[in-house]
């Protein structure tokens, strides 16, 4: 294509969005040319927030290209193919942080099920960002506990940290932030209730932390986390905090009701070794009364016991 025959019909600061648009137009037989943007490098995410990527087409294809893009923006039911910038306004307001590069935010919200369904290979999932977000979260929480609990033992601080960064806590934070409705999922995951799954919500929350860190550095990530986790840290200062053990409480509740003591069995393990999630069933006799998920068997058992206690409270 000659540059003189081209018209720019799409501009974005998101590499992910540009890749999706290119693949979309190509699938409709519209030839495109990326006329600006960063050179692909080692990382799948864009570190330069100021770069703009332009998608250009032939003059005679311009109207059709715009129609195709607009039609997918309005698509309902199968997920939005081209994320619209204004969709993230409410989320950024809730986060208290405005991204310079919204492509990082899109990347953080993109589940592997969406990437697997993309024939162009241009959509990258958020698994690497989860790994980074987990490290940033651990650092910020450890630093906060070191400063807030100078006389507490290492074991006590470790217990507080485990509670704050657990799958259940992160999933709860994700729900408070409304991440479920913003996650970019594949059709299969959408149909199986992926927006409500604890593991997906927790992973997306970690990826979001990484996105803030990559976009603005450690200080904005720390500010965001301290706002969201401050109540949990304050809660840990209460005298009864270390007496909380869901498994012990469940045992007491079952004994008080004249029922057998609970047992715990691992029903499944998913994910790579460095990101493994354990699924544990809480059994009373032959009945499974709850299931817990966690990054360790102990965490999964505690989460299962917490859910079992909630289930018992709802019974007469």
Distances 252 to 80, 194, 261 between C-alpha atoms, Å:
49, 34, 9
Active site residue 5: no
Q: Give yes or no for a contact between 7 and 57, defined as CB atoms under 8 angstroms apart.
A: yes
| Strands across the sheet containing 6-12 | 6-12, 53-58, 33-36
In 3D space, the residue among 254, 313, 262 whose CA is nearest the CA of residue 291 turns out to be 262
**Helix 127-148 and helix 218-235: axis angle, to 10°?**
60
**Range list of β-strands (E), the chain:** 6-12, 33-36, 53-58, 262-270, 277-284, 287-294
Among residues 17, 106, 206, 215, which one is catalytic?
Answer: 206
Among residues 134, 189, 215, 303, which one is catalytic?
Answer: 134
Active site residue 240: no
In angstroms, rounded to a whole number, what is the distance separating the alpha carbons of residues 303 and 168? 7
Complete DSSP assignment for 14-67: -HHHHHHHHHHHHHTT---EEEE-PPP-SSSS---TT--EEEEEEGGGHHHHHH
Q: Give yes or no for a contact between 279 and 300, defined as CB atoms under 8 angstroms apart.
A: yes
Distances 240 to 237, 243, 245, 270, 308 between C-alpha atoms, Å:
9, 5, 11, 34, 21
Q: Which residues are catalytic?
A: 134, 206
């Amino acid at each position: 294509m000659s540059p003189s025959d081209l018209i720019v019909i799409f501009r974005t600061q998101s590499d992910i969005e540009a890749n999706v648009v290119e693949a979309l137009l190509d699938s409709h037989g519209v030839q495109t040319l990326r006329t600006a943007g960063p050179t692909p490098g080692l990382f799948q995410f864009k570190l330069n927030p100021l770069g703009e990527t332009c998608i250009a087409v032939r003059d005679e294809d311009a109207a059709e290209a715009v129609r195709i893009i607009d039609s997918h923006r309005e698509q309902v039911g199968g997920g939005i193919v081209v994320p619209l910038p204004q969709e993230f306004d409410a989320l950024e307001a809730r986060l208290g942080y405005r991204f310079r590069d919204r492509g990082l935010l899109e990347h953080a919200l993109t589940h592997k099920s969406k990437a697997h369904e993309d024939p162009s290979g241009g959509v990258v999932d958020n698994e690497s960002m989860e790994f980074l977000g987990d490290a940033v979260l651990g650092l910020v929480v450890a630093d906060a506990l070191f400063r807030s609990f100078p006389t507490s033992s290492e074991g006590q601080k470790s217990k507080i940290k485990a509670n704050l960064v657990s799958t259940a806590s992160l999933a709860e934070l994700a729900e408070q932030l409304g991440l479920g409705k913003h996650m970019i999922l594949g059709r299969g995951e959408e149909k199986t209730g992926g927006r409500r799954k604890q593991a997906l919500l927790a992973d997306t929350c970690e990826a979001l932390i990484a996105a803030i860190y990559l976009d603005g550095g450690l200080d904005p990530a720390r500010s965001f986390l301290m706002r969201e986790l401050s109540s949990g840290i304050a809660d840990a200062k209460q005298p009864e905090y270390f007496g909380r053990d869901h498994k012990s409480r469940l045992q007491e509740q079952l004994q008080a009701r004249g029922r057998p003591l609970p047992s715990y069995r691992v029903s499944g393990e998913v994910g790579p070794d460095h990101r493994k999630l354990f699924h544990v069933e809480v059994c009373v006799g032959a009945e499974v009364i709850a299931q817990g998920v966690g990054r360790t068997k102990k965490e999964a058992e505690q989460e299962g016991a917490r859910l079992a206690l909630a289930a018992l409270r709802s019974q007469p």
